[in-house]
Chains A and B, each alone.
Chain A
Amino acid sequence: MKLLRLLAAGFSMSLRRSVAFRVNLVFDVLLAFTGLGTAIAAVLIVFTRADTLAGWSKAEFLVLIGTYQLITGLRTTFIDPNLSWFPETGIREGKLDGYLLQPAPSLFLSSLSLSSPLQLIQVVLGVGVLAWGIGVADRSPGAAGVMSWLVLVMAGTVVTWALSVLLACLAFWAPKLQLDVFYHSAWQLGRYPTDVFARPLRILLTYVFPMALIASVPSTALLRGPQLGVLLAAVGAAAGAAALAALAWRAGLRRYTGATS
């Protein structure tokens, strides 16, 4: 309960902070539009030449892009402001020391207490593209499909959070390692269906670094109907990833020797 209130307070404070910069607002909207626009344009161009791509129709692709955009939006709104460049901002600038003094779980404070509300534009745009995709689909999704899509999106968001935490935890062992660029590049692969990739890459992106699953799996469930096995696996993966993140965080804090004097 307290965490929710803190989250709300953090969000409200971030909102107060970001409306202070009007120019930023304009540019964030523009950036979100261009990013999404180019992704959609590429897909539309491909589908002027073909009806399906690796078994995916145009509608399915749009749903995928919409879902991807939505999760990306959630990530950039709630997770990135906290954990990106963690070795620099969290450890070297001493932000972590401050969090460790506060009477709330340090993992929560370090990974979720800040947000950048303007990035929610991406979520709104994502929902728009999603609606467009559903609109042009041959058959509209059933209630079960929508429900499982929702569960899978939530699971995907949790896995995303956990991956960001694990990446940040690396800083406790290798303080100079900043893999953010790598992570963000790998993230881009999430906007394509897993079927597009050759087998070795597909296996890598499914099991080792499950980027491709984050949008592909929910989109499949939405349009082709839910599969119980996939749902259970996703919830299990989310719980497992979150537990692993929490464990790594605890282990990291035990090793933490501080960076500021």
Chain B
Amino acid sequence: MTAVEVENLSMSYKAPVRKGGLRAAFGSLVRREYKTVQALDEVSFTIAPGEVAGFIGPNGAGKTTTMKILSGILHPTSGAVQVLGTVPWQRRSAFLKRIAFVRGSQPVGGSQELTVMDSLEYQRLLYDVPRTTFRRTLADLEALLELEPLLERQLRALSLGERMRVGLAMALIYHPEVLFLDEPTIGLDVTAASQIREFVQEYVEQTGATVLLTSHYMADVASLCPRLILIDKGKVQYDGPLAELSARLSPYKLIRISTQGDPSSFGEVVDKADGRWVLRVPRDEVAGTTGRLLQALEVVDLAVEEPPLEKVIDQAYREGLR
């Protein structure tokens, strides 16, 4: 049993193209040229129930398109998709009640003049949530998302962080089993972003929901997703644990060392300041180098670190995976 099953999913569409300038513009009136944009190219992956997977890739890689297909908004060009055992774009009510798609770029749709409570009530009606369940869930969400002061406010008067909290509340009020979160922390300050992360974590622990999450903030991915799916130019480039990805991308580790001596002969010096050094050492030599360092020098402090995930991912986006 899988929660999400994607097989050879492809999506392409035609976009009109023309060269710059007036001449080309008039020319395109007579003869229009199209370029086929391959948004997704034979994408396959599965997600087990209760799994939290991070879906990463550069802008335009096809993340949002995949999510839109998985949540039934778009019809793909080809390929097979099953979410909770159904084909999403048939858009059966029973299916739509079991999933949620929350977008950081527009967390709450609908009339912006309405109050948060009005909007939640409308969700209750739309998703046929029984009143007692609704009240119980709302009480839980109020506590987890600190909604109480927001309930009587109009949607349009909310700050970005508040909108995201409300957006999550609107989506979770009907207890979806599969959550598609598209950049849930985009534009949020550090506190608001970590609040959202903690909330998602708690929701997953409490309900066992399946989550597919995209984000450009590696902090989101690192703290929430044991598994990463990296997509680029419409293709899956990597699918597996986060640690493995960084090992594969970066054959080095960093040794952070405080010493009065000069450790520069033990590895490549990345950084040094007042007796604190950062050395870059090949992964498989870390143990040996550490041992030799401790023997040769008077070491005050030593720590071995993975290279920052941001750097690793940046390298993956630029150079691809080898």
Residues of A within 8 A of B (CB): 2, 5-6, 9-10, 13-14, 16-17, 20, 94-95, 97-98, 100-104, 106, 114, 253-254, 256-258, 260-261
**Residues on the B chain within 8 Å of A14, using CB:** 111
Stretch at the interface among B17-25, B122-130, B220-228, B297-305: B122-130
Q: Does A101 lie within 8 Å of B101, measured CB to CB?
A: yes
**Residues on the A chain within 8 Å of B65, using CB:** 258
* Partner of A106 from B71, B91, B94, B105 at Cβ < 8 Å: B91
A246 to B13, CA, bound (A): 24
A5-B125 contact in complex given A100-B73, A101-B72, A106-B91, C-beta closer than 8 Å: yes
Q: Does A102 lie within 8 Å of B75, measured CB to CB?
A: no
**Can you list 7 A-B contacts with CB-CB less than 8 angstroms, sorted by A residue number?**
A6-B125, A17-B113, A17-B114, A94-B106, A104-B126, A258-B68, A260-B105
Cβ of B291 within 8 Å of any chain A Cβ, yes or no, is no
Q: Does A13 lie within 8 Å of B93, measured CB to CB?
A: no
* Partner of A13 from B74, B101, B118 at Cβ < 8 Å: B118
Highest count of chain A CB atoms <10 Å: which of B100, B109, B118, B121? B109
Q: Does A16 lie within 8 Å of B114, measured CB to CB?
A: yes
A55 to B105, CA, bound (A): 60
Cβ of B261 within 8 Å of any chain A Cβ, yes or no, is no
A54 to B112, CA, bound (A): 49
- Beyond A9-B122, A9-B125: 19 further Cβ-contacts under 8 Å? A6-B125, A6-B126, A10-B122, A13-B114, A14-B111, A16-B114, A94-B106, A94-B109, A101-B96, A101-B100, A102-B126, A103-B94, A103-B96, A103-B97, A254-B75, A257-B74, A258-B74, A260-B105, A261-B60
A260 to B113, CA, bound (A): 22
Enumerate the 7 nearest inter-chain pairs by beta-carbon distance, A residue then B residue, closest first: A98-B109, A103-B93, A103-B96, A17-B113, A257-B13, A100-B73, A103-B97
A98 to B13, CA, bound (A): 21
Cβ of B64 within 8 Å of any chain A Cβ, yes or no, is yes
Residues of B within 8 A of A (CB): 13, 60, 64-65, 68, 71-75, 91, 93-94, 96-97, 100-101, 105-106, 109-111, 113-114, 118, 121-122, 125-128
**Residues on the A chain within 8 Å of B109, using CB:** 94-95, 97-98
A48 CB, min distance to chain B CBs, angstroms: 46
A29 to B113, CA, bound (A): 21
Q: Does A2 lie within 8 Å of B128, measured CB to CB?
A: yes
Q: Does A98 lie within 8 Å of B110, measured CB to CB?
A: yes
Q: Does A13 lie within 8 Å of B127, measured CB to CB?
A: no
**Residues on the B chain within 8 Å of A114, using CB:** 111
A102-B96 contact in complex given A13-B114, A256-B74, A258-B68, C-beta closer than 8 Å: yes
**Residues on the B chain within 8 Å of A257, using CB:** 13, 74
A102 to B127, CA, bound (A): 8
**Residues on the B chain within 8 Å of A94, using CB:** 106, 109
Q: Does A13 lie within 8 Å of B111, measured CB to CB?
A: yes
Q: Does B127 lie within 8 Å of A103, measured CB to CB?
A: yes
Give B123's nearest chain A residue, CB to CB: A102
Q: Does B75 lie within 8 Å of A256, measured CB to CB?
A: yes
Give B60's nearest chain A residue, CB to CB: A261
* Partner of A97 from B13, B68, B114, B128 at Cβ < 8 Å: B68
A29 CB, min distance to chain B CBs, angstroms: 20
Give A21's nearest chain B residue, CB to CB: B113
A108 CB, min distance to chain B CBs, angstroms: 11
B297 CB, min distance to chain A CBs, angstroms: 52
Q: Does B114 lie within 8 Å of A104, measured CB to CB?
A: no
Give A257's nearest chain B residue, CB to CB: B13
**Residues on the B chain within 8 Å of A13, using CB:** 111, 114, 118, 122
Q: Does A101 lie within 8 Å of B73, measured CB to CB?
A: yes
**Residues on the A chain within 8 Å of B96, using CB:** 101-103
**Residues on the B chain within 8 Å of A100, using CB:** 72-73, 91
Give A100's nearest chain B residue, CB to CB: B73
Q: Does A261 lie within 8 Å of B127, measured CB to CB?
A: no
Give A106's nearest chain B residue, CB to CB: B91
**Residues on the A chain within 8 Å of B111, using CB:** 13-14, 17, 114
Give B72's nearest chain A residue, CB to CB: A100
B119 CB, min distance to chain A CBs, angstroms: 9
B69 CB, min distance to chain A CBs, angstroms: 10
A254 to B13, CA, bound (A): 12
A49 to B106, CA, bound (A): 60
A9 to B111, CA, bound (A): 13
Highest count of chain B CB atoms <10 Å: which of A10, A13, A114? A13
A128 to B301, CA, bound (A): 89
